[in-house]
A and B are shown apart, each in its own frame.
Chain A
């Protein structure tokens, strides 16, 4: 137990930076959140609106709601239990399913949810973002947008009339009956929980710039810590021998011949693709040997029984783009109807830290045995992240086979130490660190 505790990988979205933005209806919370997203300009900044967490209404409440007599501006309307639960998932770097609330039906959409995964910064925005003490506990920064209530009213009226089809009278009535009293009673008091109050909302560029700088500093510190941990892990795994779960193909004469053709810079792209595809088919065959099989008894055409095997569950390939795409021809030669998931990892030009840009996998991925494809393992940082993503999507570690063309000893060591149950199949060992080049030659750019 202690041994395995020593080798832990935390993805950069672990300990998500969560920012709460509260303020009166019409104060400009949404605009401030949108401005933060725009200025941070990172794909993993996500805005979560508390509108998704309205409680499900019972028939009596529902009737009130349809008559505009239900108080949506009270904290009682919010399902804080689910909100806290989902925020805890995100904080821990796990996948969170966010309910979808329908304002037409005043109900949650059954069977529907939005998935949030791997965001580094989460902006929680809603009139009661700083209300529940359990939420406050999870927030890294608490912002209260403090806009003059006349302006709030004017914005609210304009919005209700223009986009929600209400008349001015009804909207004013709503304001006086619910919004205003609730603001005094519950919303404004949240200001004492805030780290920063932003007067004038979106117009206050100085305050917004300060917030952006603060988030950027926090992100940089996390990125450095992430890379440092991976480096430390590398030093420690070097003394640890690789286990049986790592297979390096036997270096037969044919394989050495293929390696030579692939490694030769003078090899044409046409030849490179042919030999790479040939090697890829062999590698996938080898990887298939690492899957779990069960007994299958059949009758031959001579009506004789034969006790054989079949694969225990369906196979899904997951390609780590862009490089992993070079294995797709080989994969289809071996498992033609294989489902294929994709994730795009890019190394940050400045820090070298891998970044998850895109992810699309079959919904029931956890029921598959997964072939994870990436032709090169250098530091192993991208590979660690990809495996973590699979595990977060319900795949058991023992059901993953990582397939690669060339891997460094340290990269393999990291993967093997952090995910000891996972199988790895490589065509060869790389001597020292090497830049990615295989996809460039294969795709010609």
Chain B
């Protein structure tokens, strides 16, 4: 906790939100993401629209259909931001009107890796942006005896060492499972700087732990929340993402 506090530049707090052309008193006040002292951590711009999406998926009264739809919209934004960290190469083409257009071409192969089960809920958003992307899986669960994360299963593309990896997990609470997943990827030969970790909501503690452990790995998140409760749930958070997405809550 103390280490985290050193790296948190600003906790999440109320702020006027809106585009630059609006007068300050025209901007509604809402809670925006905290800021953290790591260059490798990228927080999505706190636009009114993003805050409205987060408001819907955080709301305990939001029904499952809406939860899936609106979280998917945020996930697409995360994926689009993540893809921007991939390399491109100059590429010139001729347009349908016969003109020359100096553009770029995507370089480097990618794949997705979802941390089961919540990470799998992000696969649709990834496919919306990258049609036939390969997706590997890693199953990590909390060992009931030790209360530590434990690796149960993984299935990854054979050539993963040559690929950029988009690692998917919607909630980064303690950073424990994500760290273990990164260790698995590194053991398969994936370079740390070629891993992009996409998640919706992170705790400052989890991010601090993760970012200092993997200094070259980039994290893209939509929101850095207040912190963790005594059960290591992110607060205010949005509950258990997997349960809300897959509908496995007790009614």
Contact = CB atoms under 8 A, between A and B. Distances in A.
Partners in one complex: yes
Contacts of B84: 252-254
B205 to A, nearest CB: 16
Contacts of B151: none
A264 B17 contact: no
Interface in A294-314: 294-296, 298-311
A254 B21 CA distance: 27
A308 B233 contact: no
Given A260-B91, A308-B51, A298 B61 contact: yes
Interface in B42-101: 47-52, 54-56, 58-61, 69, 73, 76-77, 80, 83-84, 86-88, 91, 93-98, 101
A200 interface: no
Interface string B109-139: 0000000000000000000110100000000
Q: Which of B17, B28, B101 has the most CB of A within 10 A?
A: B28
A292 to B, nearest CB: 8
A256 B104 contact: yes
A245 B21 contact: yes
A300 B239 CA distance: 7
Interface stretch (A150-158, A162-170, A433-441): A433-441
A303 B238 CA distance: 10
B238 A285 contact: no
Contact of B235 (A282, A304, A441): A304
A428 B93 CA distance: 17
B55 A259 contact: no
Interface string A281-297: 11001001111011110
A295 B128 contact: no
B101 A263 contact: yes
Chain A interface helix/strand/loop/mixed: mixed
Contacts of A435: 97
A232 interface: no
B61 A307 contact: no
B236 interface: yes
Interface in A47-65: none
Nearest to A293: B48
A38 interface: no
Interface string B193-225: 000000000000000000000000000000000
B229 interface: yes
Interface in B2-32: 14, 17-21, 28-31
Contacts of A295: 28-30
Nearest to A438: B96
B231 to A, nearest CB: 9
Interface of A: 243-245, 252-254, 256-257, 259-260, 263-266, 274, 278, 281-282, 285, 288-291, 293-296, 298-311, 333-334, 336, 434-435, 437, 440-441
29 contacts: A244-B19, A254-B80, A257-B88, A257-B103, A260-B93, A260-B103, A263-B96, A263-B103, A264-B95, A265-B94, A278-B129, A285-B49, A285-B73, A291-B48, A291-B49, A293-B28, A293-B49, A293-B52, A295-B28, A295-B29, A298-B60, A300-B58, A304-B235, A304-B236, A306-B54, A306-B236, A308-B30, A309-B52, A310-B55
Given A244-B21, A257-B106, A289-B49, 13 more contacts: A244-B20, A252-B84, A263-B93, A265-B94, A265-B95, A266-B93, A281-B76, A289-B19, A296-B52, A300-B236, A303-B60, A305-B236, A434-B97
